[in-house]
């Protein structure tokens, strides 16, 4: 019974996402707009950069445009994933609760919605990678893709947490925009990180590990396993907290 309910839940959640014009516009347009803007406006020059997960003393000379393309790919996927998670947890909350009243277990509803979200991160990551390849070929493709997917994972978990904490849609959207803009599309940029006087703050923000995975994969020969593992742990903890709060809100007394 669990499997059939889970599968139909995944199918219905998938259909919801595919039929949402807002989600489709976000998925297809945001990374594309980011890339076009960067390609047109960024400079072709080498800049010294630090990658926190390698060392804070070893500098790499990296082309600014290439770095920006990889960085904003990570930022775009983080933003998109957070918005999808926000929609899935915040909208239709009462409809999901009605499913629980009608016989689904809270776990079945939760897992099917979050499962669909996590499954959607893989094609999303591949789409952003394809866009990136139109402008720049990174040193290693797989670690960069992993970084993109992991950025989606961490921010999906964050979006889910924001979705269960804020009942108002506008509040949720503003919270996602604020956090993602400060973290994923600003402070994690190695250009900013290199110049920062308080890197320890940047290292605890959600997008740190996924960004490092993308950057190390694109511009160094360093292993990205530590960054990937830390991303999974960070996102996993956020997701567990979100699931716990969601479960409490959905339960029937």
- Tokens found for residue 147: 């970084």
In the bound complex, what is the minimum distance in angstroms from residue 208's beta carbon to another protein? 35
Judged by beta carbon, residue 109 or residue 205, the one nearer another protein is 109
- Determine how many CB atoms are found less than 10 A away from the CB of residue 4: 9
Shorter beta-carbon distance to another protein: residue 204 or 252: 252
Task: Give the burial class of 75: count Cβ atoms within 10 A of its Cβ; 0-12 exposed, 13-18 middle, 19 or more buried.
Answer: buried
In the complex, the smallest distance separating the C-beta of residue 8 from another protein, rounded to whole angstroms, is 5
Based on CB atoms, which residue is closest to another protein, 18 or 33? 18
Q: Which of residues 12 and 141 has its CB atom nearest to another protein in the complex? A: 12
User: Whole-angstrom Cα distance, residue 68 to residue 212?
Assistant: 13
Shorter beta-carbon distance to another protein: residue 15 or 119: 15
Q: How far is CA 140 from CA 47, 85, 177, 250, in A?
A: 20, 29, 30, 43
For the CB of residue 87, give the shortest distance to another protein in the complex, in Å: 11
Where does this chain bind another protein (CB under 8 A)?
1, 4-5, 8-9, 12, 15-16, 19-20, 92, 94-95, 97-99, 101-104, 252-253
Q: How far is the CB of 16 from another protein (least distance, A)?
A: 5
Least distance from another protein to the Cβ atom of residue 83, Å: 16
Radius of gyration of the chain (CA): 19
Residue 119 CB contacts under 8 Å (≥ 6 apart), including other chains: 10, 14
């Amino acid at each position: 019974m669990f499997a059939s309910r889970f599968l139909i839940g995944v199918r219905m959640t998938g259909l919801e996402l595919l039929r949402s014009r807002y989600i489709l516009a976000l998925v297809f347009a945001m990374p594309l707009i980011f890339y076009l803007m960067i390609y047109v406006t960024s400079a072709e020059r080498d800049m010294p950069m630090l990658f926190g997960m390698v060392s804070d003393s070893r500098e790499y000379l990296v082309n600014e445009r290439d770095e920006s393309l990889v960085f904003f790919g990570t930022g775009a996927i983080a933003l998109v994933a957070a918005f999808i998670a926000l929609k899935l947890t915040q909208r239709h909350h009462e409809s999901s609760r009605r499913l629980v009243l009608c016989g689904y277990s809270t776990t079945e509803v939760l897992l099917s919605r979050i499962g669909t979200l996590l499954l959607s991160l893989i094609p999303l990551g591949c789409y952003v990678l394809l866009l990136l390849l139109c402008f720049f070929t990174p040193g290693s493709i797989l670690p960069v893709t992993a970084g993109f997917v992991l950025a989606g994972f961490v921010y999906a978990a964050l979006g889910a947490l924001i979705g269960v904490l804020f009942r108002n849609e506008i509040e949720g959207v503003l919270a996602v925009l604020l956090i993602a803009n400060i973290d994923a599309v600003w402070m994690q940029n190695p250009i900013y990180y290199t110049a920062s006087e308080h890197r320890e703050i940047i290292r605890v923000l959600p997008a740190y590990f996924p960004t490092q995975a993308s950057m190390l994969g694109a511009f160094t020969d360093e292993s990205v396993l530590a960054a990937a593992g830390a991303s999974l742990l960070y996102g996993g903890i956020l997701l567990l907290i979100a699931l716990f709060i969601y479960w409490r809100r959905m339960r029937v007394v």
